[in-house]
Amino acid sequence: MRLTVVTYNVRGFRDGSDRVGEIVERLAPDVLLLQETGPRRTLRRFAAGLGMDVAADPRSPLRRRVKDAVLVRSPWRIVEHRQRRFADAARFYPRGALIAQVGRAGRRVWAVSIHLGLAPTERNAHVHELTDLCAGLAGGPVVIGGDLNATPDERAVRWLADRYWDAWATMATGGEGQLGAGGETFPARDPTARIDYLFASAGLRVVSARVPVRAEEASDHLPLAVELEVED
């Protein structure tokens, strides 16, 4: 069974949710992992416009939000979801993971949307916490996507790549269907850094990966689209 997953930092929809929606429609994901999702009302309207169900962060009136989300398109559905706020994150810029189990016709996949911090020490601590969390997810393979604020040579990325398939790197070393010079996603108008990633666990085979080059007017990041095969 094929599963198309897109990860996208949409910068709070500040460049217009309609523009982001046009990009997403072209990519036609089954599962959409978003970061910097902006106001709740905007996110709900965006999801409804695409005909997708959304799992977002819970209400937290006494603390700052961690604005990650997972959206799915029918026939996939959200079975359950929760947010994990990472320990020891910067007070005014909390970080975490939005974890959703998505299902279709007896298949289950865990989808995790993340956005790591700007400080290397913080990123390193949080990916350790993330992999401990994901190790306890039972009942299906795991796909992790998001803005890591780190290039492939940095420790946080290497930590994840040692435990999961880095979709873009997998394609670069022998896969097919890769588009975009080197997977660079930031800044969108003249991308020079690969800082947005999708990682897949055992039970998922990477079929293709691409970074659309005509998406620079929707956010300061470009999206990453990956096609996966959900193995029996």
Phi/psi at 127 (nearest 5 deg)? -70, -30
Start-to-end Cα distance in the chain: 8
Nearest to 194 by CA among 226, 148, 156: 148
Sort strands 142-147 and 107-115 into parallel, antiparallel or unpaired. parallel
> Is the pLDDT reported for residue 179 higher than 80?
no
Please tell me whether the overall predicted TM-score, pTM, comes out greater than 0.85 for this model. yes
Secondary-structure class of domain 2-230 per CATH: alpha beta
Mean pLDDT of the chain: 92
| Beta carbons within 8 Å of 40's beta carbon, 6+ residues apart | 56
Quick check: 181 pLDDT over 80? no
**What pLDDT was estimated at residue 43?**
97
- Express each pLDDT in 59-92 by its tens digit: 887 789 999 999 999 999 999 999 999 998 777 8
Residues 6+ apart with CB under 8 A from 81: 55, 70, 98, 99, 100, 101
Domain boundaries along the sequence of the chain = 2-230
Query: How much is the pLDDT for 81?
Result: 98
Asked if 103 contacts 135 with a C-beta cutoff of 8 angstroms, the reply is: no
Q: Give the residue with greater pLDDT, 176 vs 156.
A: 156
CA distance 224 to 55: 20
pLDDT, tens digit, 9 for 90 and up, residues 11-21: 999 989 999 99
